[in-house]
Amino acid sequence: MSMTGQLRKAVRLRHRRTAVDLSHPARSPLGSAVVNCAVYIGGIRQEDDCPAEEAIKHVRKAGDGFVWIGLHEPTVEEFADIATLFGLHPLAVEDAVHAHQRPKLESYNDTLFTVFKTVCYVDHDKLTATSEVVGTGETMVFTGHDFVVTVRHGGHGSLGPLREQLESAPELLAKGPAAVLHAIADHTVDDYLAVVDSVQSDIDDVEAEVFASDSGPADAGRIYQLKRELLEFRRAVIPLDRPLRELSTRPYPVVDQELRTYFRDVADHLARVAEQIIALDDLINSILQAHLAQVTVAQNEDMRRISAWVAIVAVPTMVCGIYGMNFDHMPELRWTYGYPLILTVIAVACFTIHRGFRRNGWL
């Protein structure tokens, strides 16, 4: 298999995950926030987990390779030593610790700071007006010449499986820290593709319910909830386009020229996801408009029925009102069969009006 084929095979991870990924623990004996710390030389993992100071010393003494440190929701104190060890910019460190950032790419001297919004599909038995459909988290990546520091926030998006996949492709890891950055970007976008397909299934279910002829109007809360979740998904995806375009076009010292092509491929996949999200948003708007039209039609039907029954009831009301005025000279007032005659006239008139409304579809 060619280098290109191995590269693409190594970083393609297409799978659907729930909100919590328990395949890799969030904590390790290395520290309260450090999940993993390893040295890679020539694309080969050199030793077991070790403190960051020893790892970077080993790399710089060898003059080759890099250190990959993974952290999960570190505190300021937990991240301070690592920030000092690798000379990370204070602004980037603050963003990495406190999270809640938009996807972005920032360059601090020879270090790149990249923010990815991770997304997972939250399984649910039945979609309700309060169901969580899309779960989000964040992965921050510090990329230098001889180190990669990943900071993850959220209960999903573990990078453990990705690390194992990369370690099975030493040709890729031999390209340095930028190869890890590309793999994380590709992994994140692949998750977007899986999530957008799952969200589309939910939208299809709601659409089928709205247009089902044997059911009443659909629950508008479910439609609005899907729209809110899709909006959150869109906020995670759309801003990532610019960082990927910059990684594929601008010459950064830590990004190999060959890897720019692969960043461009990831950017193309992201564009596909963005197009799908926009199309789904338009579809939800159409479904909502159809639902509102159905509600309006149902209300009109109710109003027509009410109006028809009011017209029918108006006949006996009018007749009884006239005969209730107690005039001495009323038609058939003193006649023996006057009362049955009036009841018959009322019944015939009401039946005729009712039949007319039935023919016109009002009843």
Question: Which tens digit of pLDDT belongs to each residue from 317-354?
Answer: 888 887 777 777 677 777 777 778 888 888 888 888 88
pLDDT at 214: 58
Mean pLDDT of all residues in 79-85? 91
pLDDT digits (tens, 9 = 90+) for 120-159: 998 888 888 788 889 999 999 999 999 999 999 988 878 8
Q: What angle do CA 291, 296, 302 make, to 5 degrees?
A: 125
Residue 22 CB-half CA count within 13 A: 0
Q: What is the mean pLDDT of residues 98-124?
A: 90
The average pLDDT across 284-307 equals 82
Where is pLDDT greater, at 5 or 52?
52
- Mean model confidence pLDDT for the chain: 82
Q: Is the pLDDT of residue 103 over 50?
A: yes
Q: Which amino acid, one-letter code, is at 60?
A: R
Q: Which residues contact 268 (CB under 8 A, 6 or more apart)?
A: none
29 pLDDT tier (thresholds 50, 70, 90): very low
pTM here is: 0.75
pLDDT over threshold 60, residue 14: no
Higher-confidence position of 207 and 241: 241
Whether 221 shows a pLDDT value over 50: the answer reads: yes
> How deeply is 150 buried, as exposed, middle or buried, from its count of CB atoms within 10 A (0-12, 13-18, 19+)?
buried
Q: In what order do the strands lie in the sheet with 111-121?
A: 44-45, 34-41, 66-72, 147-153, 134-143, 111-121, 104-108
d(CA 22, CA 43): 27
The torsion angles phi and psi of 65, rounded to 5 degrees, stand at 85, -170
In this model, does residue 239 exceed pLDDT 90? yes
pLDDT at 111: 92
Q: What does 179-219 look like in DSSP terms, one character per residue?
A: HHHHHHHHHHHHHHHHHHHHHHHHHHHHHHHHT-TTS----
Asked if pLDDT for residue 217 goes beyond 70, the answer is no
> How many Å apart are CA 157 and CA 191, to the nearest integer?
9
Lowest mean pLDDT among 16-30, 134-148, 214-228, 246-260: 16-30
CA distance between the termini of the chain: 73
Q: What is the mean pLDDT of residues 293-303?
A: 79
Domains of the chain: 3-294 (3.30.460.20), 301-359 (1.20.58)
Phi, psi of 47 (to 5 degrees): -155, 175
Q: What was the pLDDT predicted at 16?
A: 35
